[in-house]
């Protein structure tokens, strides 16, 4: 099986019964009964689960009142990891999703379950395969999403992993999995001097995807940038 095929199946572990929201639509409010649910109540509603590799959170799809939601959880990791890096990763990612709340092209955060887990919107979608048709506006929309993410002081840093960019059922791009991401304090030192540099890492991930699925659409400037970036990437610690 090809790498494209494996990555395209990343989000097919659960048949989607929900759908992505359009920017003009209002997200359904979280019901009071859901807010009062404890961890055991959420666990009873699990439809499917994918264990996170290398200490990453487990992903579980749950059904609540006919609505599909996604839970990211580190509770079942080993004791040391759970109370150190796991706790930090969940808190960091929740804060990032909260900062990006309401943004089109990003799954919406809903609530914390406890210190080890949170609930978010489930996005029915898949990776784009090589040679597969996709909407002409896909890359311009994806670039818009990244621009808005960066404007909030957030960098993703793992967009070369093609499973982190989804094509929704409506043909819209969604950026997911902010586990490797960082958010900078507005107008702080790192915002001013590090954020502008790290934004190019995300842009390189976008161009890598474009080169893979639509190389004929790349401009000479994009090809030149990607070539230079790939040389520099040898020094980069992320994927």
- What number is the average pLDDT over the span 168-183? 94
The domain locations on the chain are: 21-121, 125-235
Examine the pLDDT at 210 and tell me if it is beyond 70.
yes
Instruction: Name the least confident of 126-135, 178-187, 212-221.
Output: 126-135
Q: What is the mean pLDDT of the chain?
A: 82
CA-based Rg of the chain, rounded to a whole angstrom?
A: 18
Sign of CA dihedral 192, 151, 105, 225: negative
Q: What is the dihedral of CA 166, 233, 179, 30, to 10 degrees?
A: -30
pLDDT of amino acid 235: 67
Report whether pLDDT(60) > 60. yes
CA pair distance 229, 81, nearest whole angstrom: 33
Does position 93 have pLDDT exceeding 70, yes or no?
yes
Query: Which among 32-41, 46-55, 177-186 has the top mean pLDDT?
Result: 177-186
pLDDT confidence of residue 11? 33
* Rounded percentage of the chain residues whose pLDDT exceeds 90: 56
pLDDT of residue 107: 96
Please state which architecture CATH assigns to domain 125-235.
Orthogonal Bundle (1.10)
159-171 confidence digits (pLDDT tens)? 988 889 999 988 9
Average pLDDT over residues 153-164: 92
pLDDT band at 203 (very low <50, low <70, confident <90, very high): very high
- 154 pLDDT exceeds 90? yes
Name which CATH class applies to 21-121: alpha beta
pLDDT at residue 86 tops 60: yes
SS3 sequence, the chain?
CCHHHHHHCCCCCCCCCCCCCCCCCCCCCCCHHHHCCCHHHHHHCEEEEECCHHHCCEEEEEEECCEEEEEEECCCCCHHHHHHHHHHHHHHHHHHHHHCCCCCCCCCEEEEEECCEEEEECCCEECCCCCCCCCCCHHHHHHHHHHHHHHCCEECCCCCCHHHEEEECCCCEEECCCCCCEECCCCCHHHHHCHHHHHHHHHHHHHHHHHHHCHHHCCHHHHHHHHHHHHHHHHCCCC
Identify the pLDDT of residue 8.
35
Q: What would the mean pLDDT of 80-99 be, rounded to a whole number?
A: 95
């Amino acid at each position: 099986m090809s790498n494209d095929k494996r990555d395209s199946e990343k989000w097919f572990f659960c048949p989607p019964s929900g759908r992505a929201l359009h920017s003009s639509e209002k997200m359904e409010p979280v019901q009071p009964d859901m807010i009062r649910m404890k961890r055991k109540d959420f666990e009873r509603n699990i439809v499917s689960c994918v264990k996170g590799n290398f200490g990453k959170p487990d992903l579980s799809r749950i059904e609540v009142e006919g609505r599909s939601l996604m839970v990211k959880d580190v509770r079942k990791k080993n004791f040391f990891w759970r109370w150190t890096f796991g706790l930090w990763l969940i808190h960091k990612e929740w804060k990032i999703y909260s900062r990006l709340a309401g943004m089109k092209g990003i799954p919406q955060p809903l609530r914390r379950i406890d210190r080890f887990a949170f609930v978010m919107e489930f996005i029915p979608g898949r990776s784009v395969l090589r040679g597969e048709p996709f909407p002409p506006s896909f890359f311009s929309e994806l670039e818009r999403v990244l621009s808005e993410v960066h404007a909030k002081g957030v960098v993703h840093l793992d967009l070369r992993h093609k499973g982190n960019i989804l094509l929704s059922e409506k043909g819209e791009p969604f950026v997911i999995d902010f586990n490797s991401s960082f958010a900078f304090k507005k107008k702080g030192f790192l915002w001013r001097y590090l954020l502008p540099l790290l934004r190019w890492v995300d842009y390189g991930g976008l161009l890598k995807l474009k080169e893979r699925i639509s190389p004929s659409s790349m401009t000479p400037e994009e090809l030149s940038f990607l070539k230079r970036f790939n040389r520099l990437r040898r020094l980069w610690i992320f994927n």
